[in-house]
């Protein structure tokens, strides 16, 4: 199962961590894993290359984490909001294979 955890503060989402595998099909043939991977990669590239934010992007074999700096520009949290929306829509289509959680930091 894919697990996405979004951390939200007063200024919006400031980090996301996505891990796991959907298990819909064998590795390399899983459309849900491919869709999630593409959404995360586009978000990370948009934040670091287009918006030019100094975000921390950590890519491990089974986990990707994007963390914004303490004072991000206005576009970066919106990019994470878009990813949150996309992954929730994917969860609605594949509820047995992806979970999306939001942790609110006060």
**Segment 8-62, tens digit of pLDDT:** 998 899 999 999 999 888 888 999 999 999 999 999 999 999 999 999 999 998 9
Structure confidence at residue 27 (pLDDT): 81
Q: What's the rounded Cα separation, in Å, for the pair 56 and 67? A: 5
Structure confidence at residue 28 (pLDDT): 84
Q: Model-level pTM greater than 0.75?
A: yes
Q: What's the rounded Cα separation, in Å, for the pair 11 and 80? A: 12
| Domain 2-104 listed as CATH 3.30.70.1490 | yes
- For the chain, which residues make up each domain, given as ranges? 2-104
pLDDT at 72 over 90: yes
Can you tell me whether residue 106 is helix, strand or coil? coil
Per-residue pLDDT tens for 81-104? 999 999 999 999 999 999 999 999
């Amino acid at each position: 199962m894919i697990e996405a955890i979004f951390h939200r503060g007063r200024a919006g989402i400031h980090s996301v961590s996505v891990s796991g595998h959907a298990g819909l099909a064998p590795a390399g043939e899983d459309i849900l894993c491919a869709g999630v991977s593409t959404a995360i990669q586009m978000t990370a590239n948009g934040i670091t290359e287009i918006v030019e934010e100094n975000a921390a992007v950590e890519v491990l074999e089974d986990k990707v984490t994007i963390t914004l700096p303490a004072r991000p520009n206005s576009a970066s949290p919106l990019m994470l909001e878009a990813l949150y929306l996309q992954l929730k829509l994917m969860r609605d289509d594949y509820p047995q294979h992806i979970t999306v959680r939001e942790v609110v930091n006060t």
